[in-house]
Amino acid sequence: MAVAYHLLPELRFTDSALYACLIVLVLLLGSRVYGGGRHLRGAGERLLIVGTSPLARLVIEEIARRPHRYALVGVVEDGSDLDRLVAARRPDRIVVAFADRRGRLPLSRLVESRAKGIRVEDVVETYENLTGKLALELMPPSRVIFSPEFGSSRVQPRFARALSLLVAVTGLIVLAPVMALIALAIKLDSRGPVFFVQQRAGLYRVPFNLIKFRTMRPAAGRHSEWERDNSDRITRCGRWLRRFRLDELPQLINMLRGDMNLVGPRPHPMTNLELLVLTARNLSEVSGDAIPYYSLRCSVRPGITGWAQVRYRYANSLEQEVEKIRYDFYYLQHLSVWLDIRILFETVRIVLSGHRPVEAELPEPQETVEAHRESA
């Protein structure tokens, strides 16, 4: 619109707005047509993996699930013959995936590849870009402890808090009639209080009382926190509230009080928090199922919606909870205003569609490490 006014000062507002919309529409359609054409032609980024670490196997599976976007041109155990492979396979990206790099990293050959315009990156970065989550159990502690990326943004915390206050005040005023109707529907649908109040872990694990609209019938005594164990308690009204996330509206009060932000990792119940921390402590030296660095997750204010919420479904087991935490750590590592805005757009799309987020239902990979190793 600014360009239109500069070039044609006599334009009226409606004219310039129309031109701006047409330009955006053309750009969007053009990008879609170009992307669709690439897919029809079978074009995709060509990746060559050097090393066969456990994380390399996960990357190979992810690449095999995206045949229209990526093409795996080979997997080699070391870089001794890297020059010949680069010339023969012409990769766009070389992924370095050694379990132990000492004495195995072909530095001179990788530098030559960079000089030829080939992107060279660590397998951890490749996995993060492919999945939008971190493989915490396969990452060396030094990558997290000494990384300047976690919580490095100075603008995002101020933006997040200001936006949260604005949304909380505006939302409570504008949505007051809707919340009153929901409260009435809950009372007419089943016996019990309108609100569900539960202690959750906030910033630095400080507990606070999270407020939601009640979607279940009250339970007697101790009960599981997992959704699948309580599905029979969900009320008719509660199912609709959960589907469109309307049960979260009272958390505007938590945002106003400073307990939460609009965007951030979802706060865990204090009862589950003890289980998660205990699991991390007991399994960290036994297997890869641990939840390392959990304290870092509580270093930011929790949110109503987050990266894990728009990328994954409700957690119904400890394993699924660990999976969501991998997404939470991706958010922590890439903390920025733009990521928050992206999460908000995704949340609006989910709320309007009424569909829960799930991991992309991609086809099972048909190719293995052994097959590519033989071809290489």
**pLDDT at residue 264 is higher than 90:** yes
DSSP conformational letter for 202: -
- Matching residue, tokens 């733009």: 338
CB 131 within 8 A of CB 325: no
Give me the mean pLDDT over the 213-238 stretch: 76
Return d(Cα 344, Cα 3) in angstroms, integer. Answer: 29
**pLDDT at residue 138 is higher than 90:** no
**pLDDT at residue 375 is higher than 60:** no
pLDDT at 40: 42
Pairing relationship of beta strands 207-213 and 195-201 according to DSSP bridges: antiparallel
CB 201 within 8 A of CB 290: no
3-state secondary structure of 263: strand
The pTM score is: 0.75
Q: What is the pLDDT of residues 72-110, one digit of tens each?
A: 999 988 888 888 899 999 999 999 998 877 767 888 889
Which of 1-10, 37-46, 241-250 is the most confident on average? 241-250
pLDDT at 188: 93
Q: What is the pLDDT of residues 341-372, one digit of tens each?
A: 999 999 888 888 766 665 544 444 544 444 44
Give percent above pLDDT 70 in the chain.
73
CB 347 within 8 A of CB 305: yes
CB 126 within 8 A of CB 66: no
Which distant-in-sequence residues (6+ apart) come within 8 Å of 30 by Cβ? none
Return d(Cα 171, Cα 179) in angstroms, integer. Answer: 10
**pLDDT at residue 280 is higher than 60:** no
φ/ψ (deg, to 5) at 144? -90, -45
**pLDDT at residue 325 is higher than 60:** yes
CATH class of the structural domain 44-131: alpha beta
